[in-house]
C-alpha cells in the first residue's frame, strides 16, 4: 500500500501551489460570509425583543425557511447559524467539489496525471493529495471560524459547533467528490454528479424546513446540508450529529480508494458509449456545434430546475396568513419578496433565486468560449470558414436561450407545483412563466458582463464572470441583512427587476437592462474581432 502512496506529499505541494489564489479566496468567501452575518446581527439586533420578532417572522414564513432553514433560538448566534449556516456549508461543499475534481479527474482527463503517473508516484497519490488539500482547506476555515466568531462576541461552544458543521459538510462533499471522480471519465460529468447530490441536499432540507408541522420535516435529516441545522449550533448542540458528515467522508474516501485500485488509468466506471461513425446533417455549422457541445449540460440544469421549482412551488400552498406583527418585520419581508400577499412574496423570492442560478448557468455557458479557446478547440473552427463573430455568437446564443429556457422552466414548474394543490393550474403557470421570464434581462446583464470580459480581458474572463455572479448573490440574498445602502444594492441588476408575481410591472427597467445586456454582448464580440486568439 505504501508504494501506491509514494509522491503524495510532493503532489499535495504542487496542488497547493496551483491553487494558491483560488484556495484562500474560497476560504475567505465562507469565513467572511459567516462573520459578516454574525457581526451585523450582533450590531443591529441588540435587544431580545427585536431578535424575537425576527425569529417569529422567520419561523412563520416558508420563503425564509426554504432559503435559510429553521430557527433554533433567539440568540445572535442562533440567528447567524440560521441565516448563513446552510449557505456557508453550501459554499464549503462547492469549494471541496472544485478542489477534489480539479486535482483528480480533471487532471487525468487532460493527460497531466499520465505524466505524473510515469514518475515515481504511486497510483493512489493524486487522490491522496487531492483529499489532503481539500481536508486542509476545510480544517483552516473551521479553525478560522472558531477563532473569529468568539471575537465578534458569540459564545465559544456555539461558534465551534457552527464552524464544525460547516467544515464537516465540506468534508462530506470531499468524500462524495472523490467517489464521483472515479465514476465518470470526464471532469464535467463528475462535477455534475456532485452538483446533483448538492442540489438534492439543499432541496431536501428546504422542503423539510418549510413543510411545517405534519409535513415531511424528516427530510432535513436525510442529506448533508440539513445536518448543519440539526446539529443546533448555539441552541443545545447535538454533537453526535457531527458523526454523520464524518461518516460520509470516511465512506466516500474508502470507496474512492477501492474504486481507484480497480480501474484503469483514464477510465471511469460509467463507460463511454461509441459515437456515430459519421455526423448527421444536423451538425453542420458553429451554431449546431455549440448546441451539440452544450445541450447535455443544459438538459441537466433544466431537469434540476424543473424538479426544484416544482417542489418549491408546492411548498407554497400552506401559506395564507400574513406574517409578523411589527412593522419593521413586514418591511424586511417586503424588501425580500413582494408587496402583496405572502404567497406572492414567497414565489417572488423563488423567482429571484431562479434568476441568480440561471445567471450562473449563463455565465458557465459563455465561459465555454474561453475553454474552447485555451484548450485549442477554437483554432480548427476559426481556421475553417467561420468568422470570429459567428463563433462567439454561437455560444452566446446558447447562453441566451439556455438562461431563458431555465427561467421559463422555473416559472412553469413553480406554477405547476403551486397550482396543483391550490387550483387554477393554467393561470398559475401563465403568471409564473411571466414572473420567471421577468428575471431574464437582469440575468442577461450578468451573462453580458462575462461575454464582454471574454472579448476584452480573456485571461481574466473566468474570474470576472464568477465574481459577478457571486456579487449578485451577495447583494440580493444577503444585502438586506447586511443593511447595505440602496446605492450599493442598486449595483445588482436583480434589484431593478419588478417583484413578480404580485408586484407592479413596469417595462422600463426591463427594457434598460436588456439594452445594457445587449451592449455588453456587442462590446465583447467587437473586442473578440480585434484580439489575438489563443
Partner 1 sequence: MANAIEASGLRKRFGPTKALDGLDLTVRTGEVHAFLGPNGAGKTTTIRILLGLLRKDGGEVSLLGGDPWRDATTLHSRLAYVPGDVTLWPSLSGGEIIDLLGRLRGRAVDPKRRQALIERFDLDPAKKARAYSKGNRQKVALIAALASDAELLVLDEPTSGLDPLMEANFRECVNAERRDGRTVLLSSHILAEAEALADRVTIIRAGQTVETGTLADMRHLTRTTVDAELAGPLELDSMPGIHNAVLDGARLRCEVDNAALTEVLRRLSAVGVRTLTCRPPTLEELFLRHYSERTVAALQP
Binding site for partner 1 (CB under 8 A): 109, 185-186, 272-279, 283-286, 289, 292-293, 296, 375-377, 379-388, 530-534
Dihedral Cα 31, 103, 304, 91, nearest 10 deg: 0
Q: Which is nearer to partner 1, 151 or 279 (CB)?
A: 279
Shortest Å, Cβ 534 to partner 1: 6
C-alpha–C-alpha distance, residues 406 and 355, integer Å: 9
Helix/strand number for the chain, H first, E second: 24, 0
C-alpha–C-alpha distance, residues 430 and 56, integer Å: 33
Q: Which is nearer to partner 1, 114 or 331 (CB)?
A: 114
Between the alpha carbon of residue 105 and those of residues 93, 266, 272, the distances in Å are 17, 8, 15
Neighbours of 497 (CB within 10 A): 24
DSSP label at residue 111: T
Nearest residue to 172 (alpha-carbon basis) of 208, 196, 207, 197: 197
Residue carrying C-alpha cell 493527460:
111
Between the alpha carbon of residue 432 and those of residues 4, 149, 388, the distances in Å are 55, 41, 38
Q: Which is nearer to partner 1, 278 or 507 (CB)?
A: 278
Shortest Å, Cβ 325 to partner 1: 57
Neighbours of 340 (CB within 10 A): 15
C-alpha–C-alpha distance, residues 431 and 499, integer Å: 12
Shortest Å, Cβ 185 to partner 1: 7
DSSP label at residue 340: S
Q: Which is nearer to partner 1, 320 or 534 (CB)?
A: 534
Shortest Å, Cβ 193 to partner 1: 16
**Is the Cα torsion angle 40, 42, 46, 52 positive or negative in sign?**
positive
Cβ-contact 129, 12 below 8 angstroms: yes
Q: Which is nearer to partner 1, 389 or 489 (CB)?
A: 389
Shortest Å, Cβ 350 to partner 1: 33
Q: Which is nearer to partner 1, 17 or 276 (CB)?
A: 276
Residue carrying C-alpha cell 464537516:
168
Shortest Å, Cβ 189 to partner 1: 10
- Record the cell numbers describing residue 11, joined without a space: 503532489
Q: Which is nearer to partner 1, 243 or 457 (CB)?
A: 457
By the 10 Å C-beta count (0-12 exposed, 13-18 middle, 19+ buried), 178 is classed as buried
Shortest Å, Cβ 289 to partner 1: 6
Shortest Å, Cβ 386 to partner 1: 5
C-alpha–C-alpha distance, residues 21 and 36, integer Å: 22
Dihedral Cα 338, 352, 496, 94, nearest 10 deg: 140
Shortest Å, Cβ 526 to partner 1: 15
Shortest Å, Cβ 299 to partner 1: 13
Cβ-contact 175, 256 below 8 angstroms: yes
Residue carrying C-alpha cell 418585520:
329
- Record the cell numbers describing residue 324, joined without a space: 409578523
Neighbours of 388 (CB within 10 A): 17
- Record the cell numbers describing residue 333, joined without a space: 419581508
Shortest Å, Cβ 273 to partner 1: 8
Q: Which is nearer to partner 1, 147 or 384 (CB)?
A: 384
Shortest Å, Cβ 272 to partner 1: 5
Q: Which is nearer to partner 1, 292 or 335 (CB)?
A: 292
Q: Which is nearer to partner 1, 238 or 531 (CB)?
A: 531
Q: Which is nearer to partner 1, 79 or 113 (CB)?
A: 113
Q: Which is nearer to partner 1, 277 or 327 (CB)?
A: 277
**Is the Cα torsion angle 482, 486, 489, 494 positive or negative in sign?**
positive
Amino acid at each position: 500500500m505504501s508504494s501506491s502512496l509514494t509522491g503524495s506529499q510532493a503532489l499535495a505541494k504542487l496542488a497547493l501551489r496551483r491553487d494558491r489564489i483560488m484556495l484562500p479566496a474560497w476560504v475567505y468567501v465562507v469565513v467572511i460570509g459567516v462573520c459578516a452575518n454574525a457581526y451585523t446581527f450582533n450590531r443591529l439586533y441588540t435587544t431580545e425583543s427585536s431578535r424575537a420578532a425576527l425569529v417569529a417572522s422567520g419561523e412563520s414564513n416558508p420563503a425564509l425557511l426554504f432559503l435559510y432553514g429553521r430557527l433554533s433560538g433567539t440568540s445572535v448566534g442562533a440567528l447567524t447559524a440560521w441565516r448563513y449556516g446552510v449557505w456557508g456549508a453550501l459554499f464549503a461543499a462547492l469549494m471541496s467539489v472544485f478542489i477534489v475534481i480539479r486535482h483528480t479527474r480533471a487532471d487525468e482527463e487532460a493527460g497531466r496525471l499520465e505524466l505524473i503517473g510515469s514518475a515515481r508516484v504511486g497510483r493512489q497519490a493524486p487522490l491522496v493529495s487531492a483529499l489532503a488539500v481539500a481536508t486542509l482547506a476545510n480544517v483552516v476555515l473551521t479553525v478560522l471560524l472558531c477563532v473569529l466568531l468568539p471575537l465578534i462576541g458569540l459564545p465559544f461552544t456555539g461558534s465551534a459547533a457552527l464552524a464544525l458543521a460547516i467544515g464537516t459538510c465540506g468534508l462530506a462533499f470531499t468524500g462524495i467528490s472523490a467517489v464521483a471522480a472515479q465514476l465518470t471519465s470526464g471532469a464535467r460529468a463528475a462535477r455534475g454528479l456532485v452538483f446533483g447530490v448538492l442540489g438534492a441536499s439543499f432541496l431536501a432540507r428546504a422542503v423539510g424546513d418549510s413543510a411545517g408541522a405534519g409535513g415531511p420535516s424528516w427530510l432535513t435529516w436525510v442529506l448533508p446540508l440539513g445536518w448543519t441545522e440539526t446539529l443546533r449550533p448555539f441552541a443545545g448542540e447535538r454533537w453526535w450529529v457531527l458523526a454523520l458528515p464524518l461518516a460520509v467522508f470516511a465512506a466516500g474516501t474508502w470507496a474512492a480508494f477501492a474504486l481507484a485500485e480497480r480501474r484503469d488509468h483514464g477510465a471511469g466506471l460509467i463507460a463511454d458509449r461509441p459515437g456515430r461513425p459519421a455526423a448527421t446533417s444536423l451538425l453542420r455549422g458553429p451554431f449546431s456545434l455549440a448546441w451539440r457541445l452544450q445541450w447535455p449540460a443544459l438538459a441537466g440544469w433544466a431537469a434540476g430546475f424543473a424538479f426544484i421549482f416544482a417542489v418549491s412551488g408546492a411548498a407554497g400552498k400552506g401559506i395564507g396568513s400574513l406574517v409578523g406583527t411589527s412593522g419593521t418585520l413586514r418591511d424586511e419581508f417586503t424588501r425580500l419578496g413582494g408587496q402583496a400577499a405572502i404567497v406572492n412574496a414567497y414565489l417572488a423570492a423563488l423567482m429571484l433565486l431562479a434568476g441568480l442560478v440561471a445567471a450562473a448557468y449563463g455565465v458557465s455557458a459563455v465561459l465555454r468560449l474561453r475553454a474552447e479557446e485555451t484548450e485549442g478547440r477554437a483554432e480548427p473552427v476559426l481556421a475553417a470558414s467561420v468568422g470570429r463573430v459567428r463563433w462567439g455568437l454561437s455560444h452566446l446564443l446558447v447562453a441566451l436561450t439556455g438562461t431563458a429556457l431555465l427561467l421559463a422552466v422555473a416559472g412553469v414548474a413553480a406554477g405547476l407545483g403551486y397550482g396543483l394543490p391550490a387550483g387554477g393550474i393554467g393561470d398559475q403557470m401563465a403568471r409564473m412563466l411571466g414572473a420567471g421570464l421577468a428575471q431574464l434581462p437582469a440575468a442577461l446583464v450578468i451573462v453580458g458582463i462575462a461575454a464582454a470580459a471574454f472579448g476584452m480581458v480573456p485571461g481574466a474572463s473566468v474570474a470576472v464572470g464568477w465574481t459577478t455572479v457571486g456579487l449578485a448573490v451577495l447583494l440580493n440574498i444577503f444585502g438586506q441583512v447586511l443593511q447595505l445602502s440602496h446605492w450599493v444594492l442598486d449595483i445588482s441588476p436583480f434589484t431593478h427587476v419588478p417583484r413578480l408575481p404580485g408586484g407592479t410591472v413596469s417595462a422600463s427597467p426591463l427594457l434598460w437592462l436588456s439594452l445594457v445586456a445587449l451592449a455588453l454582448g456587442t462590446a465583447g464580440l467587437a473586442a473578440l474581432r480585434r484580439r489575438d486568439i489563443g
